[in-house]
Amino acid sequence: MTRRYCHRHGYGPVPCSCSMGKLSRLIEPVVLLAIRNNPDIHGYQLLQEIENLAMTDSEVEPGAVYRTLRQLEAAGMVTSRWDTTANGPARRCYRLTDEGLQHLDDWAALIEKRRSEMERFLKVYKGEE
């Protein structure tokens, strides 16, 4: 197998998703999952958690995460509050609403469907179907 070059990751046996285009819509389910798993998470912690959950090799830009948070909050799926109890500057903390939990469930169902479609694609590609 030929090694592929990625401007971010160098050479590897397969292409990474950096070269596969933007996957910005997949930031939303990752943000929702990170908040569900860490209620009252603040922005910096959220960025770290998203890196662990990301469904791409591409760097997840903080600006895209904060735009997503604002959109989710405007849609009533996320609430935020300022935490002033810690030393240093106040931190905005995020929590899912019931609507946000339902939206995460919808994302999980969609991802499951896409996973099945991708598995079928690979079977056809490999001549197994």
CATH of the domain at 110: 1.10.10.10
The DSSP secondary-structure symbol of 20 reads G
Total domains present in the chain: 1
- How far apart CA 32 and CA 30 sit, in angstroms, is 5
The DSSP secondary-structure symbol of 84 reads -
Helix, strand or coil, per DSSP, at residue 70: helix
Quick check: 84 and 51 in contact, CB under 8 A?
no
Q: Is residue 89 a part of any domain in this protein? A: yes
Q: What is the pLDDT of residue 129?
A: 80
Helix, strand or coil, per DSSP, at residue 78: strand
Owning domain of residue 59: 23-125
Q: Is residue 110 a part of any domain in this protein? A: yes
β 4-6/41-42 pair status = unpaired
Q: Is residue 61 a part of any domain in this protein? A: yes
Q: Is residue 37 a part of any domain in this protein? A: yes
Mean pLDDT of the chain: 85
User: Cα-flanking dihedrals φ and ψ of residue 28, to 5°?
Assistant: -60, -50
Q: Is residue 2 a part of any domain in this protein? A: no
Q: Is residue 9 a part of any domain in this protein? A: no
pLDDT digits (tens, 9 = 90+) for 88-120: 889 999 999 999 999 999 999 988 988 999 999
Question: The whole model's pTM is what?
Answer: 0.79
Q: What is the pLDDT of residue 1?
A: 45
pLDDT digits (tens, 9 = 90+) for 39-59: 999 988 999 999 888 877 677
Q: Is residue 57 a part of any domain in this protein? A: yes
Q: Is residue 56 a part of any domain in this protein? A: yes
